[in-house]
Structure 1
Amino acid sequence: MALAELASRLNCAEYKNWVKAGHSLLLLRAALQRFAGEQVQAFHRQLVARSSARLSPSGLRCSGRCTPRGKQAYMPHGKADICGPDKCDASALLNLFNFCDHFSNIDQKKVREVIKCRNELMHSSDMKVSSSWLKEFGNHVQNLLTEFQHIPEAQMARTRIEKLLSSDWAVHVPGGDQLDGLEGEMNRSQISEIEAELIKERLHEIRLLVEEQAMMSEEDLNRIQIVKDFLNGNHDLQRSLQAEMQNLEDLVQKLDGQKQSMKETQEVNDEETDEDCHLEKRKRTI
């Protein structure tokens, strides 16, 4: 059953493009995490050295045991509690490169182009992108990776992403569960895990957006319903995302309750206002 559902999903070219792009971002993140971690530590050491230099006249020195939390200032909304680059998703890592001056030697235009693509991917209402969009996305990712030619993981990622975006990802239900096009690198379990991670990130994006607005718009409800309908038709993914979906539905119910309470309060206030106006009118008449 799970393999048949996977085959059905990947039979949709635009959904397959969406997953390929998301997987490419996961590969990009993995390739740059070590570099980002080392650079953050170097940045922290510089800050410690500057602090020690300023304090040295009074005989005070930093022990060097403080944690490099300054990078949290560069995290996007909802990422401020991330403890290090190894815990970052692609969005947080790219924003670190974009906003932290320590990474100013990286071409910021290339970083912003990939951020834009990532946001378009996660905000896609139906989790689908065209082949022309995927091609442009691939060019932007490869352009960014040229900024890291001195990093072996980045160069390996360039090759893997190029192969990934040009692969077919055909699934043959009879006689095995291998995906064609990646030379046996991935099986159905691995690609389902990638799908689940991407959809989990999408649900997180919707939740953050709703919490930030402190209200539920019709567009938000449509986004949630699309994901809900998708998961109802794909039980293998539904099982692994039950907790995230339930959290989002709980938020919807909470905001609906608040909206109803505000509506009832407004109705009471309107009634009191009408009554006050009526009494005032009677007084003037008398």
Structure 2
Amino acid sequence: MALAELASRLNCAEYKNWVKAGHSLLLLRAALQRFAGEQVQAFHRELVARSSARLSPSGLRCSGRCTPRGKQAYMPRGKADICGPDKCDASALLNLFNFCDHFSNIDQKKVREVIKCRNELMHSSDMKVSSSWLKEFGNHVQNLLTEFQHIPEAQMARTRIEKLLSSDWAVHVPGGDQLDGLEGEMNRSQISEIEAELIKERLHEISLLVEEQGMMSEEDLNRIQIVKDFLNGNHDLQRSLQAEMQNLEDLVQKLYGQKQSTKETQEVNDEETDEDCHLEKRKRTI
């Protein structure tokens, strides 16, 4: 059953494009995490040195053991508690490059183009993107990676992403569980893990958006229903995302309860206002 469900998903070209783009972002993140971590530590040491220099006249010294939390100011919503680049997703890492002056030597236009693509990918209503979109996305990712030619992991990622985006990923149920086009690099279990990670990130995006709004719009409900319908038809993914879906359901119920409470309070206030107006009218008549 799991293989048949995977075959059905990956034989849909637009969904397969969505997963390929998401996987490319995971490879991009993995390739740049070490570099980002080293640069953040260097930035921290620089800040410590500046602080020590300012405090030295009074005989005070920084021990150098303080935590470099300044980078958290550059994290997107929902990422402020991240402790380092090794814990960042692609969105957080790209935002670090985009907003922190320490990375100003990187072409910011290239960073923003990939951020835009990433947001379009996560906000896709049906988790599908066209082949033309995928081609443009691939160009933007490769352009960004040219900024890191001195980093071996980045150059390896360029090759892997190019190969990934041009692969077929066709699945033929009678012939076993190997995916065409990746020369044995990935099996169905690995693909399913990537799918689950991407859908988990999408659910997190929806939750953050709803929490920021403090209300549940019709569009939000449609987004949630699309994911629910998708998971109901793909039990292998549904099992691995039960906790995330339950958290989202709890949030929906909480906001719905708040909406009902607000509505009831408003109705009571309206009734009291109507009653006051009625009494005032009777007084005038008398």
Q: TM-score, normalised by structure 2?
A: 1.00
Residue 10 of structure 1 pairs with residue 10 of structure 2 = yes
Q: Secondary structure at the residue paired with 2:169?
A: coil
Distance in 1 of aligned mates of 2:255 and 2:140:
38
Distance in 1 of aligned mates of 2:157 and 2:266:
57
CA RMSD between the two structures = 0.4
Q: Which has the higher mean CA deviation after the structures are superposed, 189-198 or 169-178?
A: 169-178
Distance in 2 of aligned mates of 1:207 and 1:141:
27
Distance in 1 of aligned mates of 2:68 and 2:168:
43
Q: Secondary structure at the residue paired with 2:200?
A: helix
**Runs of 4 or more consecutive aligned structure 1 residues displaced over 2 Å after TM superposition:** none
TM-aligned CA deviation for residue 126 of structure 1: 0.1
Q: Write out per-residue CA displacement over residues 17-64 of structure 1, whole angstroms, 9 at most, x where no aligned residue.
A: 000000000000000000000000000000000000000000000000
Q: Write out per-residue CA displacement over residues 86-137 of structure 1, whole angstroms, 9 at most, x where no aligned residue.
A: 0000000000000000000000000000000000000000000000000000
Q: Which residue in 1 is equivalent to 2:96? A: 96
Distance in 2 of aligned mates of 1:173 and 1:53:
67
Distance in 2 of aligned mates of 1:268 and 1:68:
52
Distance in 2 of aligned mates of 1:210 and 1:282:
46
TM-aligned CA deviation for residue 172 of structure 1: 1.7
Q: Secondary structure at the residue paired with 1:174?
A: helix
Distance in 1 of aligned mates of 2:169 and 2:84:
33
TM-aligned CA deviation for residue 157 of structure 1: 0.1
Q: Write out per-residue CA displacement over residues 171-213 of structure 1, whole angstroms, 9 at most, x where no aligned residue.
A: 1212321111000000000000000000000000000000000
Residue 20 of structure 1 pairs with residue 13 of structure 2 = no
Q: Which residue in 2 is equivalent to 1:130? A: 130
Distance in 2 of aligned mates of 1:115 and 1:214:
25
Distance in 2 of aligned mates of 1:154 and 1:45:
25
After TM superposition, list the pairs within 5 Å mapping 1:210-225 onto structure 2.
210-225=210-225
Distance in 1 of aligned mates of 2:229 and 2:117:
25
TM-aligned CA deviation for residue 85 of structure 1: 0.2
Q: Write out per-residue CA displacement over residues 199-237 of structure 1, whole angstroms, 9 at most, x where no aligned residue.
A: 000000000000000000000000000000000000000
Q: Which has the higher mean CA deviation after the structures are superposed, 164-173 or 174-183?
A: 174-183
TM-aligned CA deviation for residue 239 of structure 1: 0.1
Q: Write out per-residue CA displacement over residues 244-284 of structure 1, whole angstroms, 9 at most, x where no aligned residue.
A: 00000000000000000000000000000000000001111
Q: Percent identity?
A: 98
Q: Write out per-residue CA displacement over residues 64-92 of structure 1, whole angstroms, 9 at most, x where no aligned residue.
A: 00111110000000000000000000000
Q: Secondary structure at the residue paired with 1:22?
A: helix
Distance in 2 of aligned mates of 1:66 and 1:74:
19
Distance in 1 of aligned mates of 2:246 and 2:233:
17
Distance in 1 of aligned mates of 2:80 and 2:257:
29
Distance in 2 of aligned mates of 1:41 and 1:84:
10
Distance in 2 of aligned mates of 1:38 and 1:180:
37
In structure 1, runs of 5+ residues without a counterpart are none
Distance in 2 of aligned mates of 1:31 and 1:11:
28
Q: TM-score, normalised by structure 1?
A: 1.00
Q: Which residue in 2 is equivalent to 1:282? A: 282
Distance in 2 of aligned mates of 1:192 and 1:145:
26
Q: Secondary structure at the residue paired with 2:211?
A: helix
Distance in 2 of aligned mates of 1:132 and 1:177:
28
Distance in 2 of aligned mates of 1:67 and 1:244:
31
